[in-house]
Chain A
Amino acid sequence: MTRYDTVVIGAGTAGLTTACHLAQSGQKVLVVAKGIGALLLASGSIDVLGFHPADSLTPVKNPAEKLDDFLADRPDHPYNLVGKETLKTGIDQFLQLVNQAGLDYQGDLNRNWMLPSGMGAVHPTCLAPASMVKGDLSTDESMLIVGFNELRDFFPALIAQNINEQKLGVEAGSISLEINIPIAGAMNATPIELAHAFEQDAFRNQVIKAIAAQAKSYDRVGFPAALGIKQHATAVAHLEKQLNRPVFEISSLPPSVPGRRLYEALKAALLKAGGRLIIGSQIVEGTIENGRITQIRMETASRLKAVIANHYVLATGGIFGGGIFADAEGMVTEPIFNLPVAADTNRHHWFEKKFISPTGQPVFNFGVKANSRLQPLNGDSQPVAENLYVAGAVIAGSEWTRGRTGEGIAVATAAAITAQITSQAAKSLR
């Protein structure tokens, strides 16, 4: 049927999480996305609050403790729309969702994992796959970082040297292996191809043999985040058994393998709960009548097709994800419903002079203004449509590079919208 309880537009963390929660609550849910969303470009971990104040170089150890300060400092941040309790609920619900879907995510709001990044910097994050948290830099266990010459975007020596120079109390060494990655063309290996190789016993045995002697001098062994996709748990268990020490994964350049695992798990959870997923189709417009969205229209191979639901969730991302669009003249728009966008029209104000600026990049704040029910607002601060909600980075004030709050916004808004829609559905049943 093309009639749904809820249609979610966008298949990133915010869209898929919202859709899974609603489908598992018994709703008939459709997700439509132009392509596969940001998950394959992200680390696969859930950042909630990494740095505060904005110019601090010291990562936040306990996000729960710093949240009140952060909320006061960033009045326009979406966390302020949903509140601290909903953020906590969002984190709990996300953990339950992914762990039931067969992944092993670990963490809570009272501590950040300090994970080595692909540059050897410290990446503070709230929830992460078990395979990544074993690389936590707050312990003093030494680590051997293993790379592959054919995977040209991952430099073990650079990572090890940067970890050592920060004097974190963790000693790091490195090795780069000249091992053929079977399905990758010469010098072309992507992390996904390496992940396919790691699903093979023979390949893992080759790797184990090549590093076994050196690994004995270290407490744990780190690999590029490519230890299998479907056979991930088997691959990690085999490596740990043979090397006789913990094995962990470090983020590398896209396409992200932990992001792929998360995408596949959320997709499977959605389908299992009876949800539908259309990847490759764009929602181009919607009709608003008497303060309600009555239908949206999807671009199929040769014509527009109407999609009808009781509720609509816009989770198309910010300017990076394509949910907010800027043209060459500085016009900033929300292309589907033409919602009012909070944006600076002077292009000189879009970017800071420094690429990695302590105050973040203003362009990432551009987005749709919403009320505390996450309904987008018109010029008079009234909801545009009572059955339209916004989730994730499409919301104004979402600059996520500065405090490292991207996935936190996604899971918190997913929880808030789920609560809104399910309570309305319960009311209408009464």
Chain B
Amino acid sequence: MSTDTVIDKVTHSIWNQVQYSADLCIKCNICTSHCPVTNVTDLFPGPKFVGPQAQRFRNPKDISVDASVDYCSGCGVCSMVCPHGVKVMEMNAKARYKLYQKKPIPLRNRLLGRSELLGMLGSPFAPIANFMMSVRPVRIITEKMMGIHRDAPMPIWSFETFRGWFKSVHSKSPNRKISPKRVAFYHGCSTNYYEPRVGKAAIAVLEHNGYEILLPDQVCCGLPMQSNGEFGAACKNAEKNIKSLVAYAKQGIPIVGTSTSCTLSLKSDYQHILDIDTEEARIVAANTYDICEFLLDLADAGELKTDFNPVDFTFPYHSPCQLRAHNMGLPAIDLMEMIPGVKVDHIQAECCGIAGTYGYKVEKYDIGMAVGKPLFDHIKASGSKIAVCDSETCRWQIAGATGAKMIHPVELLAKAYGLQDFYFN
């Protein structure tokens, strides 16, 4: 092997691998200074300490593990702000997996990781299940037995699932759009079991713009299991999704989702955290779009309809961590501002604190609430009874903490197009 190939590998390949990227760290602590968690608690020493710094004392082929890494919320702000390209969050996610290989994964974490199972169990009995979860003693017992905090924001099960509606109602509707322009819709668990209205709004907006919606077979993206240290189970889901979605991607049909964390899994986590390094995974990643990203691309190409009715309102908007990690900017702001009368009050907050399942855990609930406090204070001070956020668990957290009604940006677009309304006063 010539010297050239060795150097080429070192500069362009190895440093891009998660564990080796620790060598790019100059210990500047910019990640620590922006970490939402370490700035509210002394239980987490910070992304640099448990990540690249600890990494330097270990076998470079291995990921270093410190028990405190379990307090990392996985928001990914560290990887985003790092000016040197260190994959801090990815390193810490892998370390958490190693941590839970050494000790048993609590039943609580296994349950929180299975958002799809929870949805399936609760949805058919939605009225009873929702009532039960609103009963204080039930929540106290759940906290004592399961370690899920009594005040954590439980989503409300929908009796009608999104898939059920799509298959039994929408597919049979004469108004359903049939078009050569097609998108494959990845709804994820939250839209399917808790917020079908978000999926319905997305479909209405896409059809209004001339797209036919295809509904691929799909399972939970696996992120909740990945965040709870169950890489094996997460990989199984990832592989199922890739197998199903690659058929669409290969035909050039864009895969569009309303959940920013699901679409981020398809785009990035499968390859960089779960190490599924296959051609199929790359094809799916390259063809996956966040709904607002997709619509703004249409607008840039002059193909987005602009027959919006005016909405005279200033909407507080939180850009979730998992959206910012798409590294593409904040397409929702540009889209919403295309609606006459709409003003966006973009809240400068790092994180709402829920970070997927993190803020549900009894030992982390207070940390999550402290992380989100500046955001909650901003919304309360704004006096607005409604606010906008792209990510579901963030919406539930913010709604729980502020009492504001939370909508996805695509719901505002659907309202402005006159396709689907939401009510607020």
Interface positions of A (Cβ within 8 A of B): 1-3, 30, 33-38, 40-41, 182-186, 188, 190, 192-193, 196, 254-255, 260, 267-268, 271, 276, 278-282, 298-303, 305, 321-322, 327-329
Question: How many angstroms between the C-alpha atoms of A258 and B16 in the bound complex?
Answer: 32
Question: How many angstroms between the C-alpha atoms of A278 and B323 in the bound complex?
Answer: 12
Question: How many angstroms between the C-alpha atoms of A10 and B339 in the bound complex?
Answer: 31
Contacts A268-B348, A301-B325 known; A36 to B29 CB distance under 8 Å? no
Residue of A at shortest CB range from B41? A183
Residues 339-354 of chain B: 1 if any A CB is under 8 Å from the residue's CB, otherwise 0? 0000000101000000
In the bound complex, do residue B348 and residue A299 qualify as a contact, i.e. CB atoms below 8 Å apart?
A: no
Residues in B neighbouring A33, C-beta threshold 8 A: 83
In the bound complex, do residue B33 and residue A255 qualify as a contact, i.e. CB atoms below 8 Å apart?
A: yes
A172 shortest CB reach to chain B, Å: 27
In the bound complex, do residue A185 and residue B268 qualify as a contact, i.e. CB atoms below 8 Å apart?
A: no
Residues in A neighbouring B264, C-beta threshold 8 A: 301
A146 shortest CB reach to chain B, Å: 22
Residues in A neighbouring B42, C-beta threshold 8 A: 182-186
Contact of B10 among A185, A301, A328 (CB under 8 A): A328
In the bound complex, do residue A328 and residue B7 qualify as a contact, i.e. CB atoms below 8 Å apart?
A: yes
Residue of B at shortest CB range from A30? B329
Residues 296-338 of chain B: 1 if any A CB is under 8 Å from the residue's CB, otherwise 0? 1001100000000000000000000000111111100010000
Question: How many angstroms between the C-alpha atoms of A327 and B15 in the bound complex?
Answer: 13
Residues in A neighbouring B43, C-beta threshold 8 A: 185
B97 shortest CB reach to chain A, Å: 21
Residues in B neighbouring A298, C-beta threshold 8 A: 327-328
Contacts A1-B300, A268-B348 known; A190 to B286 CB distance under 8 Å? no
Residues in A neighbouring B300, C-beta threshold 8 A: 1-3
Other than A183-B42, A196-B39, A299-B327, give 5 A-B pairs with Cβ distance below 8 A.
Answer: A34-B83, A35-B80, A188-B46, A278-B329, A303-B286
Residues in B neighbouring A192, C-beta threshold 8 A: 29, 32-33, 39
In the bound complex, do residue B348 and residue A329 qualify as a contact, i.e. CB atoms below 8 Å apart?
A: no
Contacts A35-B82, A188-B45, A302-B286 known; A193 to B39 CB distance under 8 Å? yes
In the bound complex, do residue A36 and residue B34 qualify as a contact, i.e. CB atoms below 8 Å apart?
A: yes
In the bound complex, do residue B30 and residue A255 qualify as a contact, i.e. CB atoms below 8 Å apart?
A: yes
In the bound complex, do residue A280 and residue B325 qualify as a contact, i.e. CB atoms below 8 Å apart?
A: yes
Question: How many angstroms between the C-alpha atoms of A186 and B38 in the bound complex?
Answer: 13
Which of A3, A196, A278 has most chain B Cβ within 10 Å? A278
In the bound complex, do residue B7 and residue A280 qualify as a contact, i.e. CB atoms below 8 Å apart?
A: no
Question: How many angstroms between the C-alpha atoms of A162 and B231 in the bound complex?
Answer: 55
Residues in B neighbouring A34, C-beta threshold 8 A: 83, 85
Residues in B neighbouring A35, C-beta threshold 8 A: 30, 80-85
Question: How many angstroms between the C-alpha atoms of A138 and B158 in the bound complex?
Answer: 71
Question: How many angstroms between the C-alpha atoms of A290 and B42 in the bound complex?
Answer: 57
Contacts A41-B28, A271-B346 known; A280 to B38 CB distance under 8 Å? no
In the bound complex, do residue A188 and residue B49 qualify as a contact, i.e. CB atoms below 8 Å apart?
A: yes
Question: How many angstroms between the C-alpha atoms of A41 and B31 in the bound complex?
Answer: 12
Contact of A278 among B11, B267, B328, B346 (CB under 8 A): B328
Contact of B267 among A40, A184, A280, A301 (CB under 8 A): A301
Contact of B33 among A37, A40, A328 (CB under 8 A): A40
B166 shortest CB reach to chain A, Å: 26
Which of B79, B85, B285, B328 has most chain A Cβ within 10 Å? B328
Residues in B neighbouring A188, C-beta threshold 8 A: 45-46, 49
Question: How many angstroms between the C-alpha atoms of A28 and B327 in the bound complex?
Answer: 20
A410 shortest CB reach to chain B, Å: 16
Residue of A at shortest CB range from B285? A302
Residue of A at shortest CB range from B266? A302
Question: How many angstroms between the C-alpha atoms of A422 and B45 in the bound complex?
Answer: 46
Contacts A271-B346, A302-B268 known; A40 to B327 CB distance under 8 Å? no
Question: How many angstroms between the C-alpha atoms of A184 and B28 in the bound complex?
Answer: 17
Residues 17-41 of chain B: 1 if any A CB is under 8 Å from the residue's CB, otherwise 0? 0000000000011101110001111
A231 shortest CB reach to chain B, Å: 12
B21 shortest CB reach to chain A, Å: 13
In the bound complex, do residue A302 and residue B84 qualify as a contact, i.e. CB atoms below 8 Å apart?
A: no
B11 shortest CB reach to chain A, Å: 6
In the bound complex, do residue B34 and residue A190 qualify as a contact, i.e. CB atoms below 8 Å apart?
A: no
Contacts A184-B42, A300-B328, A302-B267 known; A255 to B29 CB distance under 8 Å? yes
Question: How many angstroms between the C-alpha atoms of A192 and B36 in the bound complex?
Answer: 12
Residues in B neighbouring A254, C-beta threshold 8 A: 28-30
Q: Of residues 73 to 90 in B, which have CB atoms within 8 Å of A's CB atoms? A: 79-85
In the bound complex, do residue B7 and residue A40 qualify as a contact, i.e. CB atoms below 8 Å apart?
A: no
Contacts A185-B45, A301-B267, A302-B268 known; A280 to B34 CB distance under 8 Å? no
In the bound complex, do residue A278 and residue B40 qualify as a contact, i.e. CB atoms below 8 Å apart?
A: no
Does B288 interact with chain A (Cβ within 8 Å)? yes
Residues in B neighbouring A276, C-beta threshold 8 A: 329-330
Residue of B at shortest CB range from A264? B348
Question: How many angstroms between the C-alpha atoms of A396 and B417 in the bound complex?
Answer: 53
Residues in A neighbouring B327, C-beta threshold 8 A: 278, 280-281, 298-301
Question: How many angstroms between the C-alpha atoms of A253 and B28 in the bound complex?
Answer: 9
Q: Of residues 99 to 118 in B, which have CB atoms within 8 Å of A's CB atoms? A: none
Q: Of residues 363 to 412 in B, which have CB atoms within 8 Å of A's CB atoms? A: none
Question: How many angstroms between the C-alpha atoms of A271 and B42 in the bound complex?
Answer: 32
Q: Of residues 136 to 170 in B, which have CB atoms within 8 Å of A's CB atoms? A: none
In the bound complex, do residue A281 and residue B328 qualify as a contact, i.e. CB atoms below 8 Å apart?
A: yes
Residue of B at shortest CB range from A300? B328
